[in-house]
Structure formats: C-alpha cells, structure tokens
Amino acid sequence: MRTTEQAYQLARQRYADLGVDVEAAVNKLQNVKISLHCWQGDDVGGFESAGGLTDGGILATGNYPGKARTPEQLRQDAEVAFRMIPGKHRFNLHAIYLENKGKKVGRDEIGPEHFQGWMDWAKENGLGLDFNPTFFSHPKAADGFTLSSPCSETREFWIRHGTACRKIAAEMGKQLGSPSVVDFWMPDGFKDIPVDRLTPRKRMEESLDRIFAEQMDPKLELDAVESKLFGIGSETYVVGSHEFFMGYALSRKKLICLDAGHFHPTEGIADKLSSMSLFMDELLLHVSRPVRWDSDHVVIWNDDLRAIAEELVRNDLLGRTHIGLDFFDGTVNRIVAWVVGTRAMLKALLAAFLEPLAQLRKWERDGDYSGRLAILEELKSMPFGAVWDDYCERNGVPVGAAWLEQVRKYESDVLSQR
C-alpha cells in the first residue's frame, strides 16, 4: 500500500472513532466550486492598454517577474494553477480583461464578442465564468466617483458600462450552462469629511436601479453588490457602505458580496453569514486576507478562514453561497498565490466537513459546553493532512508540496522567458 493510502486509512479510522464519516465529507467537498479571480494573475492590470492599474481605491504591490501580459499568457498560467487544485472550479473575469484585438473599445461599448476567447477557453476546460464591471483604473473614475458622480455624463457612462457587463455575463451563463455572478463594486467615496453623505447615495441607488432595470434570467446571470468600509482615497466616506448595500440587496433581491477585508480591522465576515442567510437567498463571498487594512494578502488557512468555512458548512449554506477569491500579491510567483489561496479555502472547507457536527450540536443544546470545548480543540490535531493528501491524489493533482516543484519548473521554462 502507498504511504498516502496507509495514512488515509488510519486517519479514516481516527475520524470514525469520533463519529465522523470521512468518505461523506470528501464527497461533499467534491461538489464545491471556488471562483478563481483572474486579477491575481497580473496584479489587476487587464488588457485594455499597456497602462495597467492606476487608482480607485485598490492597490497591487510587488513586481515579481513573469507577469501575464496577454490573454493567452493569463489563460496558460491559470491552467497551470488549476492543475494543482483538486476539483472543478470557476474563473472570475473583470471587464478590463477583454480581448480588443488592439482596437480601443470604450468600457461602455464592450460586448460578449470581446470575451468569446474566454468563453471558448472556459468551455474547453470545463470551467464556469463569473464577471465584474471595472469601475476603476479609468479617467472617468479619477475623481473617485462613478455611479454616484455629480456629473450626469459620468454617471451615464458608467450606467452603460454596468448594463453592458450584465449582458456579457448572461452570454457567458448561456454558453457555459451555469449562471455567471456579476459583482458590482464601485470605489465611490470621499477622502475627507463630507457635508452631504446622502445625495451621493441617492445617486448611486438611482444608477444601480437603471443598470438593473432589465430583468435577467437567473439561470444565466446573477447580480451581487459589494460593500466596503474605506479605501485608498475614500478613507472617510464610502458611498457603498455595508448598510447601503445591505438595504439595497434586500430591497432589490440582489446578492450581497461580503469581502473579508471590507470591515473594521478586527471584524470578521463569518458571523454575518447566518444572519444574512435568513433574509437573502444567495450570497457571494470575496475571500481575502486583510493584514491591518484591506491589504488583499494571499489567503492562508488561518482562523478567519476556518471560521468562514465552518459557518458555511455548519449552517448548510454552501448550496446558496458563491465563493470567490479576492487577493492580489505581486511579490510572489502569481501562480503560487492562486494555488496557495485556493487550496487553503478547500482545506478549510474539508476541515469543516470533518467535524462531528451532530454530536457538537447536541452537547451545545444540552448545555454541555465542556464536551464542545474539548472536542473542538481535539479536532485541531486530528490527522487532517492524510485526508487532504488523499483528496488531492484522487483528484489527480500533486500531493503535499509536490505542486511547488511543478510551478517552479513552469517558472523557469515559461515565466522567466517573458
């Protein structure tokens, strides 16, 4: 017997002793799809022009060599990442990742034809696609306002952009046979203390209502709105705050997107999920790792991530939660970042599936908090790694750290030649 197999059999027995069915846990994980964000592959640059990210409340740091500069390169890199990640997943595009064949196409003029290459690639690779309008890195967003701008011409431009993006996503949903989730995040806000906090919010509300006026088939396209506490240049006031988008999503029956970095520095998103699940059908997550601020570090398997996964599993929310990743680190090999972040998310979910939940719930109901405390702590040193390794093996991806060697080889063969 191979060592991974031996270790797995022993681990299975250890978990069975606790009342956990490992095979059932593994089968559940097999159904989970994570949406990998294209923007980790090139530091949120996109292919509109050679310029790349300018401003608008997000900032990528680092200049690790080998960044993807064309759609072909980005797809090739993503394929390498997907080969290191167990399971079948999704890919999440921003509007600036269009293929314009060298012609300048305004953001308000984009259509499905500019994303056909991505749709063909997704089909070949068995991936679903998600989508994002890009309300930043643009002269019309340079003053920090888009859909809530006091300038009607600016608002109209961005309304046309948002409308175009929903149509593109619906086409993706149609061609790929699964709905494309469109996430609306706008950087709008003030650096310093405003005197009128209400009017920009009214304008934002009106603009969004115009964008969402057309009913879309939820089998093809779903809309989400993403709140934020502060950004670079919007430290004092963000139009799309949590309360704004919570109210908007509830009243318009949209999804809310919770980004792990968009709240107060010590405020996690895990505890929000159960409450929101009572009032909304579906949720979108931007799983990220804020370090002291909304820094978008690569996701790792830490307590915050565990807590998110536990809430999703314990409350049976996976069937109505879209899990997207949102980080961008240009100081490390960008494929390594994708692989580490996605594998961490999957590990956190697997660990959550491996809890003796019925027992823990019973103890809690009966007031046996000693049992709950003791077993939650024991679970941390259970042979989780053996189950994870077996999961990788049965999905045909490298076991343990073996994937790193493969990415390093790709770096020397391909990335370093760019």
Q: Please identify, among the stretches 90-98, 198-206, 259-267, 406-414, the one whose residues bind Zn ion according to the rule CB under 5 A.
A: 259-267
Binds ligand RNT by CB under 6 A, chosen from 22, 36, 58, 283? 58
Is residue 114 part of the contact set for Zn ion (CB under 5 A)? no
Q: Please identify, among the stretches 112-120, 223-231, 236-244, 410-418, the one whose residues bind ligand RNT according to the rule CB under 6 A.
A: 223-231
Active site residue 17: no
Active site residue 226: yes
Is residue 132 part of the contact set for ligand RNT (CB under 6 A)? yes
Site for ligand RNT in 11-50 (CB under 6 A): 39, 44
Instruction: Report the nearest approach of ligand RNT to the CB of residue 187 (Å).
Output: 7
Q: Which residue is nearest to ligand RNT (CB)?
A: 185
**Structure tokens that stand for 227 in this block:** 């709140």
Catalytic residue, candidates 221, 296, 329, 355: 296
Active site residue 121: no
Is residue 286 part of the contact set for Zn ion (CB under 5 A)? yes
Binds Zn ion by CB under 5 A, chosen from 205, 221, 259, 294? 259
Is residue 184 part of the contact set for ligand RNT (CB under 6 A)? no
230 binds, among ligand RNT, Zn ion, none (CB under 5 to 8 A by kind): none
Active site residue 259: yes
Is residue 326 part of the contact set for Zn ion (CB under 5 A)? yes
* Cα 388 to Cα 350: distance, rounded to the nearest angstrom: 8
* 12 versus 272: smaller Cβ distance to ligand RNT: 272
Binds ligand RNT by CB under 6 A, chosen from 67, 89, 155, 228? 228
* 96 versus 397: smaller Cβ distance to Zn ion: 96
Q: Give the residues lining the site for Zn ion (CB under 5 A).
A: 259, 286, 326
Active site residues: 185, 226, 228, 259, 262, 286, 294, 296, 326
The residue ranges that bind ligand RNT (CB under 6 A) are: 39, 44, 57-58, 132, 185, 226, 228, 231, 259, 286, 294, 326
